[in-house]
Amino acid sequence: MSHRKRAWIKKITNARCASKVAVDAKQDASQSGCQKLFKVKVAEVRTANMEGKLRRRGKFSGYRSDWKKAYVKLKAGEKVPEFAEI
């Protein structure tokens, strides 16, 4: 998860967060990237493939591109840093 790929990160709770990752990213790559980026210990990573939505502009229609979402759970005692600290 490089700084170019972390377009969006959402803090769900103090020990969980969700982020948009590359479509071809594996769970272990997301885990190691999160550990290096935030300097925290990760307990588990779950990923979900999200389908692109249909978008219309008048008579023209098309689909947004598909993307992947990673849910990261931190180990006990760890917390997600605030966005100002990153």
User: Distance between CA atoms of 25 and 5, rounded to whole angstroms?
Assistant: 10
Residue type, 83: F
Q: What is the pTM of this model?
A: 0.74
Neighbours of 67 (CB within 10 A): 16
User: What is the residue extent of each domain of the chain?
Assistant: 9-74
Q: What is the pLDDT of residues 1-35, one digit of tens each?
A: 444 444 456 666 668 888 889 999 999 999 998 89
The pLDDT of residue 55 is above 90: yes
CATH architecture of the region 9-74: 2-Layer Sandwich (3.30)
